Structure 1
Amino acid sequence: MKLKTIIVEDEVLGQKALAGILKDFCPETIDLADITGTVSGAVESILKLKPQLVFLDIKLGPNTMGAFDILKSLPRIDFSIVFTTSSELPENILKALNKYGAKKYLLKPMDIDEVVDAVDCVIAECGHDGTLLNIDQIKNIVQEASQQHVTKKVSVPVKSGIEFYPIDEIIMLRSGLNNTYLFHTDGMTIKSSKNLKFFEKQIIPEGFIKVSRSYIINPTHVYKYSKEDGGTIFLTNGCTASLSGKYADVFFKMLNSST
């Protein structure tokens, strides 16, 4: 079966990237009916085309909750949703997305396999979920999510699924062979199946600093810096991270601002 699909994405490069993945890797399952980048354009397209699947960007331009404005403008939601976002979502928003019936959410830049998995998930469940959410239910979910106090968390894909950790409890990330090790304040080391680049878009905006190709550190856990061995950063858990010249300026600016 082919799912009539709409992409709601305000960035042209993002539109082209997702459309290209769907065209090249989901030609038998996706009928791409429209691409739009505004709240009003999305509402009009959904009402007119009646899609079965919508890839819905959370943030549209300056509107950080554009996706929810779209959903609140619809009389009902009788299509599957795959949310997309350029930054990690708070856990309470994820719970709200689950209530919406979202099959998946994808972090940008999107991984081909994850997009294909999301489409397969929608197809597998298509026809089995007759739940339609009305505007009152949507308003309640958005209000509940916005009123909750949220500790920002980092999502860590592991072999068994996805684990969530408060971002301020992560001391350091170190790249491995096709994976990443996260060092927690309680002493445990978490091994993720994702590479270091995957985590950059989650934690760099939260104040973490990349100090070499292999290390990202939480500056609040820096204990000491030594010039030996080309530059070594000592962290509160006893671990060390090497500092390379390419990243030194940002690191030293951080040190100066904290003294």
Structure 2
Amino acid sequence: MLKAILIDDEHDCVELMVRELARNCPQVQVVGRTTSSEEGFRLIQVLQPDLVFLDIEMPRMNGFQLLEKLDTLPFSLIFVTAYNEFAVKAFRFSALDYLLKPIDVVDLQEAVRKAERQHRIDGRQLELLKTQLHSHHLAEKIAVPYQQGIIFLPVNEVIYAESDSNYTKLHATQNRQYLLTRTLREVQEVLEERGFLRVHRQYIINLEHIQKLVKGEGVYLQLSNGVSIPVARQQKDRLLQRFGWL
């Protein structure tokens, strides 16, 4: 059972979350709720939750300021936000879980399942998220969760991303591989603004790591690590737009 605290300055949002958790997430026990960030800070210290649902934009003290006041972050964290599309990409880049208002039940259940697997967050994830939200510029690193914690991987070291069912495998320089708990579509939404292109239903490639194009029965791209990636027929035009070839 996960002990949870809800912190959101909108009373209706707090009450709705309580109802949705009771109906759809029986593994969560709400032990505290508040519309005040100051009271939320006190509840975290006193109740020592396993999971915190936290709004970012709150009066007097926002969600980031609340977290900065804590000495440690020994809990899972799910942001609840009405932020725009850019911010959603920032959340994904920092590997922090979030729920968009109005709350979708399926997203809520998935976020709770992730919280059961990851019992604390890394402060560097918050710094990465804050940098991106405040500067409106995506950072040069991506946060990659793995079994022992989080790796902060420079984007230019990612050679390609490969679909693996509901997960995505990142292939990086020096033969490194990382498994993300994100679909390839979710990864695509972030990486395609960073010099990546989805060239196949199964692959997204870093354009900087293309070494040559091979034509035969199909079209293939050979990447810097020697791997050949097929190019889907319908993606040829996108390559043409980016490079003026084919």
TM-score of the superposed pair, with normalisation by structure 2: 0.57
Matched, 1:247 2:235: yes
Unaligned runs of 5+ in 2: 45-51, 80-86, 101-106, 121-129
Deviation at 1:73, TM superposition (A): 8.0
CA gap of 1:111–1:161, structure 2 versus 1, over 3 A, is farther
Deviation at 1:153, TM superposition (A): 1.5
Q: Deviations over 1:25-60 (max 9, x none)?
A: 1475137968xxxxxxxxxx32698584763455x7
**Where in structure 2 are the equivalents of 1:97-112 lying within 5 Å?**
105-106=96-97, 110=107, 112=109
Give 1:37's aligned residue: none
Matched, 1:55 2:53: yes
Provide the rounded CA distance (Å) in 2 between the counterparts of 1:48 and 1:2.
19
Give 2:198's aligned residue: 210
1:115 to 94, 99, 112: 112
3-state secondary structure, aligned to 1:206? coil
3-state secondary structure, aligned to 1:172? strand
Give 1:227's aligned residue: 215
Deviation at 1:241, TM superposition (A): 0.9
Provide the rounded CA distance (Å) in 2 between the counterparts of 1:156 and 1:50.
29
Say which is worse superposed, 245-254 or 191-200, in terms of deviation. Answer: 191-200
3-state secondary structure, aligned to 2:36? helix
**Where in structure 2 are the equivalents of 1:72-83 lying within 5 Å?**
82-83=77-78
- Are the counterparts in 2 of residues 211 and 243 from structure 1 also a CA contact under 8 Å? yes
CA gap of 1:180–1:72, structure 2 versus 1, over 3 A, is closer
**Where in structure 2 are the equivalents of 1:131-210 lying within 5 Å?**
152-176=140-164, 179-186=167-174, 188-192=175-179, 194=181, 195-210=183-198
Say which is worse superposed, 235-244 or 170-179, in terms of deviation. Answer: 170-179
Give 1:70's aligned residue: 62
CA gap of 1:196–1:234, structure 2 versus 1, over 3 A, is same
Aligned residues: 202
Residue type of the alignment partner of 1:213: R
CA gap of 1:201–1:155, structure 2 versus 1, over 3 A, is farther
TM-score of the superposed pair, with normalisation by structure 1: 0.54
3-state secondary structure, aligned to 2:225? coil
Q: Identity, % of aligned pairs?
A: 21
CA gap of 1:29–1:213, structure 2 versus 1, over 3 A, is same
CA gap of 1:221–1:77, structure 2 versus 1, over 3 A, is closer
Matched, 1:87 2:89: yes
CA RMSD after TM alignment:
5.0
Unaligned runs of 5+ in 1: 35-44, 61-65, 95-103, 125-141
- Are the counterparts in 2 of residues 88 and 155 from structure 1 also a CA contact under 8 Å? no
